[in-house]
Amino acid sequence: MKSTAAKFKKSVRVSLGDPDLQRAMGFIKSGFVKNRRAAVERLPEFDELRRLARGIKEHTLQNLDFYLEAYEERVQASGGHVHWASTPEQACEIVVDICRRAGAKRVTKGKSMVGEEMGINDALEQAGLEPIETDLGEYIIQLAEEPPSHIIAPAVHKTKHQITELFHTHHARYGYTERQTEVPALVDEARQVLREKFLSADVGITGANFLIAETGSSVIVTNEGNGDLTNTLPRVHIVTAGIEKIVPTREDASTLLRVLARSATGQEMSVYTTFSTGPRRSDDLDGPSEYHVVLLDNGRSQMLGNAFHEMLRCIRCGACMNHCPVYQGIGGHAYGWVYVGPMGSVLTPLMVGLDEAGDLPNACTLNGRCREVCPMEIGLPDMLRELRRRQYQDRQTSRTSRTALAAWSFLARRPRLYRRLMGAAVASLAWLGRRRGRFRHMLLAGGWTSVRDLPAPQGASFQNQWRKRRGDAQP
């Protein structure tokens, strides 16, 4: 998917001023946030499970090459194929090639963020194939020709009214001419339209929440059942997954599943949790006859062992963005790429470039709520700060910022000069502001005063008053 992260500030202006979006984002607080808290409160073992989950992932990452090869062996033993891709382009080539060799025309898709990362839909269309998103949220944004705005609820930014119009426009060709305005009717119409696609698909592509080395299995977690219709009805099943999705055993996956659903939606278990291993067996009555796994690196291997290593523990639950006050205000499209919110602010600069996505690590108050709710205990604020450190080092920060910062640090390291200079400055400001105690405008502080008044300093600085009161006997 092509990044528009460089347009961050402009996108933010648009999203802050969009009443439909603001209303839609309100559902995140009343839904995801509330439900997660309730689910966590109901499970006394939650924090212990988080700690264990982190441990499982860390162990796996330290031995990632071993587990990937063990996984591949077992996929092959069950009749499946594993393909390795260093880049998104390679991954797309592999998928298109599999589809071509299968003589495919129509491809149904379960939700896969790696698929978005690869830009697989564009690649399929360019190869003359017809990709159809089947997760209702992904289907909606496919009709709207928009990118996802959340990693598990990709159409969270859309209002019911907008969805009504989309269906009315796009479903007419199937004979649905009535405008559906209520949720049950909308969902039912989508069910009927997509049912025909499921049944006529040649290839089904799903993502994977986990890949299990012990058995060569891939795991998907859904509520709609679309992932299962996608991996069962066509004659070819392709799984697209990042290399960091591996876990050692089914027991390890079970532990991670417990924290995944609760962190994502507040459910204790999603409706459908499916472990897929290989193609149909010789005596099966249904199922695809080919099973392919496409493993994508795209820079993940280079994150191992460095400052961004912890990001590889991410299980794509979405809790961080649900709880991020910045994300709640600006929505997902402002982040300009596949991954949004705090985890997106770390991954997007790493995957598309820090110069392209330079705003993302900075549009953050470092309030830490993301780390607090992350089931894998990922230190997101520290990684965002590390990205800022790289920007500073590479002189990507603005000249004004660097100058102001340099001036401040210069003074901060010279306490006596600081006391005299800053002391004088605040005393003057205090005098200027003595009538109202605040300023509506302040030279060089437009960023502050455009949004709020600037309280005036009280008077002489604390240090200067202290010296006066206590004399110079203090050390």
Binding-site size, other proteins (CB under 8 A): 173
DSSP state of 244: G
Query: What strand order describes the sheet that includes 81-85?
Result: 81-85, 290-296, 236-242, 203-206, 106-109, 130-133
DSSP letter string over 360-409? TTTS-----HHHHH-TT---HHHHHHHHHHHHHHTT-S-HHHHHHHHHHH
By the rule CB under 8 A, 373 interacts with other proteins: no
By the rule CB under 8 A, 468 interacts with other proteins: no
How many CA atoms lie within 13 Å of 283's alpha carbon, on the beta-carbon side?
A: 0
Alpha-carbon 110 to chain mean position? 17
Give least dist CB 312 to other proteins, A: 10
Burial group, residue 133, by CB count within 10 angstroms (0-12, 13-18, 19+): buried
Residue 6 or residue 52: which is nearer to other proteins going by CB? 52
Near other proteins in 33-52, by CB under 8 A: 43-45, 48-49, 52
Give least dist CB 32 to other proteins, A: 8
Residue 3 or residue 134: which is nearer to other proteins going by CB? 134
DSSP state of 78: T
Residue in the structure block whose two tokens are 């894998």: 376
Give least dist CB 274 to other proteins, A: 5
**Dihedral (CA of 10, 334, 138, 2) sign:** positive
**What does the alpha-carbon distance between residue 133 and residue 122 come to, in Å, rounded to a whole number?**
12
Q: What angle do CA 308, 33, 7 make, to 5 degrees?
A: 55
Near other proteins in 259-288, by CB under 8 A: 265, 267-281, 283-287
Give least dist CB 414 to other proteins, A: 8
Residue 332 or residue 457: which is nearer to other proteins going by CB? 457
Task: Please select the residue that binds other proteins; options are 259, 295, 311, 321, rule is CB under 8 A.
Answer: 295
- Number of C-beta neighbours around residue 288 at 10 A: 24
**What does the alpha-carbon distance between residue 213 and residue 217 come to, in Å, rounded to a whole number?**
7
Task: Please select the residue that binds other proteins; options are 127, 165, 176, 459, rule is CB under 8 A.
Answer: 459
Nearest CA to 46 out of 57, 55, 37 is that of 37
By the rule CB under 8 A, 301 interacts with other proteins: yes
User: Which amino acid does the sequence have at 470?
Assistant: R
Give least dist CB 224 to other proteins, A: 4
Of 56-64, 119-127, 202-210, 343-351, the window that binds other proteins (rule: CB under 8 A) is 56-64
Task: Please select the residue that binds other proteins; options are 6, 70, 127, 354, rule is CB under 8 A.
Answer: 70
Near other proteins in 391-450, by CB under 8 A: 391-393, 397, 401, 405-406, 408-409, 411-413, 415-416, 418-419, 422, 426, 433-438, 440, 445, 447-448, 450
How many CA atoms lie within 13 Å of 260's alpha carbon, on the beta-carbon side?
A: 21
By the rule CB under 8 A, 165 interacts with other proteins: no
Near other proteins in 126-155, by CB under 8 A: 134-137, 140, 153, 155
Near other proteins in 77-116, by CB under 8 A: 78, 83-86, 90, 94
Residue 126 or residue 289: which is nearer to other proteins going by CB? 289
Near other proteins in 200-219, by CB under 8 A: 213-217
By the rule CB under 8 A, 303 interacts with other proteins: yes
Residue 121 or residue 217: which is nearer to other proteins going by CB? 217
Of 114-122, 201-209, 246-254, 342-350, the window that binds other proteins (rule: CB under 8 A) is 246-254
Burial group, residue 115, by CB count within 10 angstroms (0-12, 13-18, 19+): buried
Structure-token pair, residue 18: 């969009």
Cα first-last separation, the chain: 61
Of 98-106, 115-123, 341-349, 390-398, the window that binds other proteins (rule: CB under 8 A) is 390-398
User: x/- site string to other proteins, residues 317 to 356, per CB under 8 A?
Assistant: --------xx--xx--------------------------
